[in-house]
Homo-oligomer: A and B are copies of this chain.
Amino acid sequence: MKLFPLDTFAYEFPGKEIKINFEIPEFTAICPFSDFPDFAIIRLEYVPNERCIELKSLKLYINSFRNVKIFHEHVINVILEDFVAACDPLSVEIDGDFHVRGNIKTVVRASYKKP
């Protein structure tokens, strides 16, 4: 799984807590069971520490899942780990809101708080 690297820039108001919320409606990957495409809206909210995620690299990172085979339950953990590694935030919450499969709609949520 070779994903586009997440880029960052300096947060100019360190020490002032803000929440940054992204809605990314164009996630697609491949289902490992069926080899058919999966689709999801990814929602992500974080509190920056010293660096912010650069928007264009986030788009390219999400685009780079297009040919990756991965389960709903695991993709959210992968994004969470990559995001924390890239910008060391004070906290992050991630939602993956997946399209109906087998007549069932699935949403997966994960979160992280800097110790």
Contact = CB atoms under 8 A, between A and B. Distances in A.
A55 B102 contact: yes
A54 to B, nearest CB: 9
Interface residues of A, number: 47
Nearest to A57: B102
A114 interface: no
Contacts of A74: 12-13
Nearest to A28: B28
A107 interface: yes
Interface of A: 9, 11-13, 16-26, 28, 36-37, 39, 48, 52, 55-56, 58-59, 63, 66, 71-74, 76-77, 80, 99-111
